[in-house]
Structure 1
Amino acid sequence: MNSSSSTPPLKGPEADAIEATAAVWLGRRDRGMSEAETATFIRWLQQDARHAEVFAELDDTWKSFNRLRVARPAGMGRPDADLLAPRRRRHRVLWACAALTAAAAVVFLALAWPRVPGANLHRNVVTAVGAFQKMDLPDGSVVQLNTDSAIDVQYTAGERRVRLVRGEAHFAVAKNPDRPFIVSAGQVAVRAVGTAFNVRLRSSAVEVLVTEGKVQVNDSVQGGSLLMARAEEPTPLLVAGERATIPLQAVTGRAAAAVAPVAPAEVERALAWQERRLEFEDVPLAEVVAEFNRYNTHQLVIDDPRLETRRFGGTFRADGYPAFVRLLETTFGVTAERSEDRTMLRLK
C-alpha cells in the first residue's frame, strides 16, 4: 500500500471541536480582532491543515447565509421557505453555522497603534463603501468605523479628540478624567470620560446614541450644552438608553437636541452594523433601500411611488441586497430590472 501525506478526515469529537473553534474565530474576525488575537488565530491555522480547511468552508457557508424576518402586508401569502433558508451543505457545517453570532463574512482591519497613553497622535482613517474598520487607540479606547465613513484622530497630552468627517462610528472610551475624550460632528461636540456611544452624521442632523455611561452634548463653536437642563443635574447629560438628534441648521447656543429614550431592541437594531447586519422593524421600503445603498456600490432605485411607503421588517446581511430583491420579486409582487450598477424596483 502506498503511503499518503493527505490530511486525515475529520471524525467524531475531534471534528466537532475544530468546527466549534473555527466558528468562534469567524465571529471574532467579523467583530474585529486585536493584534494579539490575530497572532493567536494565525498560530491556530498553522497548527493543522484541517483548521484552515474547516475555517474556509465555514466562511464560504456563512457568505450564503441571510436571516430574514418578513413583515407581510395583509392578505399576502407565506414567503417561499427555500428563499429564506441558507444554501444546504453538509450537516457538520450547518451545525457550526448555527453556533455563530450573526455576522457577515467581511474581512476588516484592526489597526493597532503603539499604546503610549500620553503620546501625541494624528491620524486620518477612511472606509470605502461596504468596508468596516476597528481601531484600538493608544489609550485603550476602541473605535468601530462604519461604511463610507471618515475620522480625524488627534491626541495630545491633555485631550483626546476625534472628528467625524462623514458617516458613522461607535466609540468605547477608556476612562481618564484628566484627559477628556471629545468627538465632534458638524457643530456638535460629544464629551465623554468613560463610556460607549454611537455617532452618525446624516445630511441634515447628527445622531448620538449612548449605549453605556453618559456624555455631554455641546455646541463645538460657541460652547454650551445642546441638551435641556434637568433639575437633578447641574450639567445636562445624555445617558445610556437615550438618543439625541441635533439638526445641522440648529441655532447655536440653544437647547437644540431632541432627546428620546431608546428601547434595548431598538439599540440592537441601530448597532447591527457592527455585525455586518441591517435590521428593520416595520419601516418604509424607501428607508430599507437607503440603508442597503449605504453599504453597496450597486444601488437600488424605487421607480414606483406606490412602493416607497410599503413597510417591511427583517434582518439581512449588509451586502445582501440580491436576496432582498429576490424576496420582493417572489413575495411582494415587485418587478426588478437589473443593470450593472443598479436595480430598478417597480410593482407589477
Structure 2
Amino acid sequence: MSPIEAPTIEPVSPERLAEASVWIAKLHGDARGRAIEEGLRRWLQAHPENARAFELATEVWDDSEQLRSVVPFRPLRHVEHRPRWGAMATALACMLALVIVGVFWLQNVGVVATAVGEQRQLVLEDGTRVFLNTDTRIVVKYDKEARRVELRRGEALFNVAKRHDWPFIVTAGDRQVKALGTSFVVRKDVERLAVTLVEGSVLVSPVLPTLPEQIQPTIDAPGSIEQTPVTTALEARKGAGEFKLAAGQRLTFDAGAVTKLDTPSIEKTTAWRRGQVILDDTPLQAAVIEMNRYNEAKLIVADPDAAALPINGLFQAGDSAHFANAVAQAYGLVVIERGNEIVLSGKPIQ
C-alpha cells in the first residue's frame, strides 16, 4: 500500500481507555471528593497518554449524557419519574465503563462491525469520527489519494475532518458519497439506501469506472438539487446522475422506485445516536421493522388489520417489550411472548 501523507496518530490502548472510564465513573458518582480528584490528577500526570485517554472518554461521556428516559406511546397517560442525578450519573458511568473499549482509533485499513443492539464510535487516523448503529459493518481504507470507507450494511454517521487535499468518500452499494468536511448519515438496508446531510455539503454519485470527460455527469451551480442528465453511455452503466445535497436533505434510493429527495427531521434521523427511536405516524408494520433492528427478540404483527395502525412516540432502542405493551394498551391488542418472538395479536380497537 502506498504511504499515507497525512500524519498518523498512535491509538489509545483499551487499557488506558478503561482506566479513564473508571475515573469518569468516580467523578460523576456520589462518593466524589478531594481524594478522588487528587487521585485523578496523579493518574493524569503519570503518563502523557493518560490525558489523551481521559479526553476521549470524556467526549463519549458527554455523548451518553444525551440519553433520555423513554417517552412512551403518545396516546398513553404517563407520569415521568425522574431519578436523582447522582444515581443516573453513576448508572451512565458504569455503562460507559463497559462500552468504552469499543471506542478506538482505526488506522489505514480495517473492518469494524457491530452486533444487533450494539453501537460503537470510531476515531479514524485523520480525526474523522464514525458512529456505527446496530448491525453495521464498514471497511476503512486510507491511501494517499483518498480516505475511503465502504458501508456494507447498516447505518453510520460520519463527522468528517476537513482535509481539502484529501477527499473523504463513503461507498454503499452502487453509490458513493464524497465530502471534504461535513456531517452526514448513510443507511444501507437490503433494498434501500439513504443519505442524509446533517451539515456541510456532499456529492452523491454512482460508483462507476473512469469515463472520458465528454460523458462525465455535471452539476449545476452550488445549491442546485436535481438529477443531472447524462449521456447514453453513462446511463447504460448505472442509469443515474449526480446529486449535490444541502444541509437537512435526504436522498433515498429504493429498489424499483423513483429516487426521492426530502427534508426529514434531523432529530428523528439521528435519534439512534441517543439510543432512541422516534416514530411519527409510522405504520405499525414499519415501526416493528425499525424496532427489530435493535433486538434479537423479534416483534411480529399477527393480524393484517393492525399493520397500518399509526404509531407515534419516542421509544428506547432495543426495548421491544415496552414498545409492544404500549401499542397493545393503546389499541386493545394482546402481547404474546414465545421463545425469541414478541407477538402483537388480536383485532385493534380504534
Distance 1:184 1:342, change over 3 A: same
SS of alignment partner, residue 293 of structure 2: helix
- Residues 49 and 97 of structure 1, relative CA distance in 2, 3 Å threshold: closer
Equivalent residue, structure 1, for 2:23: 43
Conserved in 2, the CA contact under 8 Å of 1:67 and 1:315?
yes
CA-to-aligned-CA distance 1:180-222 (integer Å, 9 cap, x gap): 1000000000000000000000222210000010011111124
| Cα shift at 1:343 | 1.3
1:207/1:246 contact within 8 Å kept: yes
Q: How many Å apart are 1:36 and its aligned residue?
A: 8.3
Q: Which amino acid aligns with 1:326?
A: N
State how 1:233-252 maps to structure 2 within 5 Å: 236-247=243-254
SS across alignment from 1:158: coil
Q: State whether structure 2 residue 133 is matched by structure 1 residue 123.
A: no
Matched, 1:180 2:201: no
Question: Structure 2 vs 1, CA of residues 41 and 330 (structure 1 numbering), >3 Å: closer, same or farther?
Answer: same
Determine whether 1:68 maps to 2:72: yes
User: Aligned to 2:125, which of 131, 138, 148?
Assistant: 138
Distance 1:304 1:313, change over 3 A: same
Gaps spanning 5+ residues in structure 2: where?
1-13, 33-65, 225-241
> Which residue identity does 1:194 align to in structure 2?
G
Q: CA deviation at 1:246?
A: 2.2
Quote the Cα distance in structure 1 between the aligned partners of 2:216 and 2:340. Answer: 41
Q: Which residue of structure 1 lines up, in the alignment, with residue 268 of structure 2?
A: 269
Counterpart secondary structure, 1:178: coil
Residues 227, 236 of structure 1: 8 Å contact kept: no
Q: Is the 8 A contact 2:248 2:263 kept in 1?
A: yes
CA distance in 2, matches of 1:63, 1:170: 17
What SS does the corresponding residue of 1:291 show, helix, strand or coil?
Answer: helix
Question: Structure 1's 298 and 188: CA in aligned 2 closer, same or farther, altered over 3 A?
Answer: same
Cα distance in 2 for residues equivalent to 1:65 and 1:258: 33
Identity of aligned residues (%): 29
Letter paired with 1:286: Q
Q: Which of 204, 214, 228 in structure 1 is aligned with 2:191?
A: 204
Mapped to 1, the partners of 2:124 and 2:18 lie a distance apart of 17
Paired position in structure 1 for 2:182: 195
Aligned length: 278
Q: Is the 8 A contact 2:73 2:327 kept in 1?
A: no
Q: 1:186 to 1:40 in 2, by over 3 A?
A: same
2:60 match: none
Q: Does 1:345 align with 2:344?
A: yes
The 1:133/1:192 distance shift into structure 2, 3 A limit, reads same
1:155 aligns with 2:138: no
Query: CA, structure 1 residues 193+248, in 2 after alignment: closer, same or farther (shift >3 Å)?
Result: farther
**Cα distance per residue 1:229-278 (max 9 Å; x no partner):** 4455698521211111124568xxxxx7432233xxx1101100011100
Query: Equivalents in 2 of 1:184, 1:39: separation in Å?
Result: 36
Whether the aligned pair in 2 keeps the contact of 1:66 and 1:320 (CA below 8 Å) is no
For structure 1, the 5+ residue unaligned runs are 1-33, 53-61, 73-78, 115-119, 251-255
Residue of structure 1 aligned with 2:262, choices 252, 260, 263:
260
- CA separation of 1:324/1:47 partners in 2, compared to 1, >3 Å: closer, same or farther? closer
Instruction: Check the 8 A contact 2:29/2:89 in 1, yes or no.
Output: no
Q: CA distance change for structure 1 residues 123 and 95 in 2, over 3 Å: closer, same or farther?
A: closer
Determine the C-alpha separation between the residues in 2 that align with 1:261 and 1:65.
27
Contact 1:160 1:182 in 2 (8 A): yes
Q: Deviations over 1:165-190 (max 9, x none)?
A: 10100000001111110000000000
1:71-111, Cα deviation, whole Å (9 max, x unpaired): x4xxxxxx353xx645xxxx8x33557999x9xx6853443
1:309 aligned counterpart, secondary structure: coil
- Separation in 2 of the partners of 1:98 and 1:273? 20
Partner of 2:42: none
Inter-partner Cα distance in structure 2 for 1:228 and 1:306: 47
- The answer on whether the counterparts of 2:171 and 2:177 sit within 8 Å (CA) in structure 1 is yes
CA contact (8 A) 2:155 2:186 kept: yes
Distance 1:334 1:227 in 2: 53
Rate the CA distance shift 1:208–1:323 in 2: closer, same or farther, 3 A: same
Structure 1 residue 94 and structure 2 residue 101: aligned?
no
TM-score by length of 2: 0.69
Match of 1:164 in 2: 151
- The 1:268/1:99 distance shift into structure 2, 3 A limit, reads farther
What does residue 31 of structure 1 align with?
none
**Shift of the alpha carbon at 1:303?**
0.6
The one-letter code sitting in structure 1 at the alignment partner of 2:253 is I
